[in-house]
Amino acid sequence: MKDGFLRAAAVSPHVTPGDTKRNADEIIAHIKHLSKEGVALAVFPELCITGYGCGDMFLHPSLTAAATRELTRILRETAPLDILFYVGLPVIDGGKLYNAAAACFGGAVVSVTLKNHIPNYNEFYEKRYFTSANEAKEGFASSSLIKLFSKNTDTGSEAMVGAEICEDLWMPAPPSGILAGSGANIICNLSASNAVIGKDIYRRDLVKSQSARLICAYIYANANRGESTSDCVYDGQSFIAENGVILAESKPFSEGAIIADIDISRLNRERMVMTTFENIKNEIPVISLSMQKREYGKLFRQFDKHPFIPSNNSELEKRCEYIINMQSYALTKRLDSIHTGKVVIGLSGGLDSTLALLVAVKAFDILNISKAGIIAVTMPCFGTTARTKNNAEKLAKAFDTDFREIDITEAVKIHFRDIGLDENDRTTAFENCQARERTQILMDIANMEGGIVLGTGDLSELALGWATYNGDHMSMYGVNSGVPKTLVRYLVGYVKSISEPDTAAVLEDILATPVSPELLPASEGAQNTEEIVGPYELHDFFLYYFVRQGFSPEKILRIAEIAFKDDYEPEIIKKWLKVFIDRFFAMQFKRSCLPEGVKIGSVSLSPRADFRMPADISRKFLGDL
């Protein structure tokens, strides 16, 4: 280590869950390349030999046996190389399964670190498979520090390396604190942390601040889109930080390695200077204060009207770009997995289907395949306006997609006769028959073309149950299911801002079109969704604070009156909050069988990710407003 520098790498290989041989090939290729680049220490993602997203297959003996077999091959093929590297795999000991990090050098495993904190919330189910290191038998769970040094090295430039795994970093007392207090000046983190709105910023700050707090180098290697499956997408965000400074970081949704030279001697000196940096053994006293419950009138704070939308314009643009990337890369993974280059979209000329089309276009560009594989179908009926129909056609043709128009009016009338429904009947069946006919057409075209139907419904509609069961409620993959309605508008607006003039003009008119299901005859007046179920900006506010924050309806009403004091009278807010609560509980049965769709932000209603609620639960525990 000349001048105290150590060259390190965080690697994000393309991992395929379950394909241990291919994963091992990727790991071996990276190690050989990095060794040529002079890298002394390399860190790979969590469970990279098997893939993080193997679900219940972690409990299958064949998978753990394959992981062990491929680790042996990795050790054999990298034995001659002068490089220390960490790889992740499941390990069985004493009849228990552990999430482990194996430190490898010279053809042998020199240390094994077990994951301490096993997440079992939101989209994580690790306790279903893995046991915490805290429960392992004595000796097996102890992680070793690894001293890296070379002959004739500079004084004070010895590297002491320790590891923790993903969730461990996010805890109040991370293992890295103990490791650093014991002498580690490099912390390696093997991670499989999925992408969620805002998580990239928080994750970066967490790594940066932890390296500063521990006066260490922190190498964070994260899984990328190869792990993206079902409701989660991974972006490969990796970092190498040194004492509060990011030395290297990967671009979102990238693969490969980032490399940096860590100044070990500088870190060791900083620790000497900071005399409070020590392993404190004394217990910290706790002081308890008994306080009376206080009732406040006016709150001396403000609440953002749009919790899903960044208030800073420059941040908003970055957020929009990132979200569309999340949606698009998630779709590319699904298309890769099922080996198809075709998607079918019901294009109405409204905001949601427009966003779905934009996401599909981006995904096809990423995959570098013809956009003729995007089959956009518009299906006019009783309430379809010339404005939306024309916009759908213009948009599809602007992106060179396969555009088809199928008028469903006669088919729906035949269905009315088949089921004995009067054409003048304006009950729910009149509207839902149209939605289900459209879905039938999309599904059948997908079968004919060997593609999948993209769902266009958004998160706000899922919360309200504003979808026809087994109609637009159903698809083969829902790219918008994690995007609230207020954010849909900004995403479409962002694409408009970077589009050619002709395309931007179409998007501008779509943005200016009132949200409507267009199911009733135009002669009877235009349907306006927000007049029927309420303003989406209110519902998104309610959704965020009810699901994400767990606030009571009374508290939500109170802060909504503060946030929207210049927009709505209190009785109007209360009216729509009641509608939200009633519909949210009554429509859970629709959410219980949702198609898969990518999780985007901190609120998800997928039954496979964050939200689990029986469809028959009573809402009486909430009381009355």
For 408-418, what is each residue's pLDDT tens digit? Answer: 999 999 999 99
Poorest-confidence range of 155-159, 196-200, 339-343, 350-354?
A: 155-159
Please say if the pLDDT value at position 295 is more than 80: no
Name the band, by pLDDT with cuts 50, 70 and 90, for residue 421. Answer: very high
Name the band, by pLDDT with cuts 50, 70 and 90, for residue 314. Answer: confident
pLDDT of residue 609: 80
pLDDT of residue 138: 66
pLDDT of residue 625: 82
- Annotate 16-80 with DSSP letters as a single string: -TT-HHHHHHHHHHHHHHHHHTT-SEEE--TTTTT-S--GGGGGSHHHHHHHHHHHHHHHHHHTT
Tokens 């999309």 correspond to 442
Q: Name the pTM for this structure.
A: 0.84
Q: 191, 222 in Cβ contact below 8 A?
A: yes
CATH 3.60.110.10 domain extents, the chain: 2-273
Name the band, by pLDDT with cuts 50, 70 and 90, for residue 510. Answer: very high
Q: Which residues pair with 7 in a beta bridge?
A: 261
313-532+589-603 is a CATH 3.40.1350.10 domain: no
Average pLDDT over residues 503-510: 97
pLDDT of residue 293: 47
Name the band, by pLDDT with cuts 50, 70 and 90, for residue 243. Answer: very high
| Secondary element (H or E) of residue 319 | helix 313-338
Region of 485 on the Ramachandran plot (φ > 0 left; ψ -120 to 50 alpha; else beta): alpha
Q: Which two tokens stand for residue 485?
A: 């309605």
Name the band, by pLDDT with cuts 50, 70 and 90, for residue 281. Answer: low
Q: 259, 35 in Cβ contact below 8 A?
A: no
Nearest in space to 264 (alpha carbons), one of 183, 203, 191, 165:
183
C-alpha–C-alpha distance, residues 101 and 45, integer Å: 9
Average pLDDT over residues 44-70: 96
C-alpha–C-alpha distance, residues 572 and 574, integer Å: 5
Poorest-confidence range of 145-149, 194-198, 454-458, 486-490?
A: 145-149
pLDDT of residue 524: 83
pLDDT of residue 415: 96
Catalytic residues: 46, 115, 166
Highest averaged pLDDT of the listed ranges 87-96, 178-187, 296-305: 87-96
Classified as helix, coil or strand, 157 is: coil
The CATH class of the 2-273 domain is alpha beta
C-alpha–C-alpha distance, residues 547 and 544, integer Å: 6
Q: Mind listing the pLDDT tens digit for each residue in 574-603?
A: 999 999 999 999 999 999 999 999 999 989
Q: 517, 527 in Cβ contact below 8 A?
A: yes
Average pLDDT over residues 516-537: 89
The letter for the amino acid at 338 is I
Average pLDDT over residues 149-159: 65
Please say if the pLDDT value at position 187 is more than 60: yes
Alpha carbon distances (Å) from 442 to 102, 343, 452, 487, 499: 48, 10, 9, 26, 28
| Phi then psi dihedrals of residue 153, to 5 deg | -75, 160
Poorest-confidence range of 352-361, 503-512, 535-544, 615-624?
A: 615-624
Q: Which two tokens stand for residue 5?
A: 């520098």
Classified as helix, coil or strand, 346 is: strand
Q: Are strands 84-93 and 41-43 parallel, antiparallel or unpaired?
A: parallel
Average pLDDT over residues 104-112: 93
HSE-CB for 250 with a 13 A CA cutoff: 27
Name the band, by pLDDT with cuts 50, 70 and 90, for residue 422. Answer: very high
Task: Report the Cα 240 to chain-centroid distance in Å.
Answer: 22
Mean pLDDT of the chain, nearest integer: 92
> Helices 553-563 & 570-586, crossing angle to 10 degrees?
140
CATH 3.40.50.620 domain extents, the chain: 313-532+589-603
C-alpha–C-alpha distance, residues 268 and 215, integer Å: 8
Average pLDDT over residues 194-202: 94
Q: Mind listing the pLDDT tens digit for each residue in 299-311?
A: 677 889 999 998 8
